[in-house]
Homo-oligomer: A and B are copies of this chain.
Amino acid sequence: TKLAVVGAGAVGATLAYAALMRGAARTVALHDINAAKVEAEALDLQHGVQFVPQAEVIGSDDIAVCADADVVVVTAGAKQKPGQSRIDLAGATIGLMKNILPPLVEVAPNAVYIMVTNPVDVVTYASLKISGLPPQQLFGSGTVLDSSRLRYLIAEHCGVAVQNVHAYIAGEHGDSEIPLWDSASIGAVPLLEWNRSGEHGPLTEEVRATIAHEVANSAYRIIEGKGATNYAVGLAGTRIIEAVLNNEHSVLPVSSLLDDYYGIGDVCLSVPSIVGRRGIYDTLQIPLSDSEYDGLKKSADQLRSVARQFGF
């Protein structure tokens, strides 16, 4: 199995590291336009090969390094330039995808594509149009990371292992994202009925608001403190890669092209979806509260209108 990572920046290189440590793929290929950087990252990763499951690491500024990949993760990003607005950045990033995707799809036509570059939902939507790939085969990492943050905070509050928290963030990977409290559970206890006594007690509206706020803002806090986020997203991306390469049929909140999800369509955003070797197999019909549904619809409208701005 071969994993190709396009963009060997903070996110791309860390993701390659995590994938190597987990033995997610037999070959890990890094591609970046910065030749010196991509070779340095590949070298640094190669020197660690002794300590991880057997794998081959290659890096190059030639896109051919991605040939015949089984999974391609796109983390290449356009840097925000002075005077450039967030929407301008989205435009620049979409422009980047127009350059990157056609030659990439040519060398790796059968890969499953996982988009990570932000704004990930809009980039995924545009990339589907640009590449012409079927929606099953190209999707965004979406809110896998956000859901992981949510679960961490719930687990801390409730005093249970994070693996026992079953909760998802849906919608945009960004400010309009929605925690799906209504369908969340801890063990087999509905989250809204959680009633342990003491410090690990009920998740009151106040507690939930604090947690939701922290999830939505932690990326900002991290970027302020260290300039980028890379560790958790590296693991979240690796998790998706594993679901694909091991054909796990795992439920993951990735950003995919919705058709008629409770009436929502023609937009890429995250809802819990079944992910396996061929990409996305299905989206799950999660029961939503009214306000969750409203949030999701608003998130969709917003994302759709951004896409429209760039002619998609």
Residue positions of A touching B, CB distance < 8 A: 13-14, 17-18, 21-23, 26, 36-41, 43-54, 145, 148-149, 151-152, 159-164, 166-168, 180, 183-190, 193, 195-196, 218, 221-226, 229-232, 234-236, 238-239, 243, 246-251, 272, 274, 281-282, 284-287
The copy count of this chain in the complex is 4
Residues on B with beta carbons closer than 8 Å to the beta carbon of A40: 221-226
Partner of A37, one of B43, B47, B226: B226
**Sample of 16 A–B contacts (CB below 8 Å):** A21-B21, A21-B22, A36-B225, A38-B225, A40-B223, A40-B224, A44-B226, A47-B218, A48-B234, A48-B236, A51-B235, A54-B163, A160-B249, A166-B166, A190-B287, A193-B285
Residues on B with beta carbons closer than 8 Å to the beta carbon of A251: 160-161, 164, 186-187
| B148 adjacent to A196 (CB under 8 Å) | no
Give bound CA distance, A115 to B305, whole Å.
54
- A160 and B274 contact, Cβ closer than 8 Å, known pairs A189-B183, A190-B287, A225-B41: yes
Residues on B with beta carbons closer than 8 Å to the beta carbon of A166: 166, 185, 187-188
- A226 and B41 contact, Cβ closer than 8 Å, known pairs A52-B235, A152-B49, A234-B48: yes
| B286 adjacent to A189 (CB under 8 Å) | yes
Known: A45-B232, A180-B188, A183-B189. 12 other contacts (CB 8 A): A21-B21, A39-B221, A39-B225, A40-B222, A41-B226, A43-B222, A47-B218, A54-B162, A164-B251, A188-B284, A189-B284, A193-B287
Residues on B with beta carbons closer than 8 Å to the beta carbon of A286: 187-189
Q: Chain B nearest CB: distance from A237 CB in Å?
A: 10
- A47 and B148 contact, Cβ closer than 8 Å, known pairs A285-B195, A287-B189: yes
Give bound CA distance, A123 to B190, whole Å.
32
Residues on B with beta carbons closer than 8 Å to the beta carbon of A43: 218, 221-222, 225
| A232 adjacent to B47 (CB under 8 Å) | yes
Give bound CA distance, A18 to B234, whole Å.
12
Residues on B with beta carbons closer than 8 Å to the beta carbon of A17: 14, 17-18, 231, 234
Give bound CA distance, A20 to B50, whole Å.
18
Q: Chain B nearest CB: distance from A189 CB in Å?
A: 5
Give bound CA distance, A224 to B232, whole Å.
26
| B189 adjacent to A184 (CB under 8 Å) | no
The 9 A-B pairs at the shortest CB distance, nearest first, are namely A40-B225, A47-B232, A187-B251, A183-B188, A48-B232, A40-B226, A48-B235, A51-B235, A36-B225
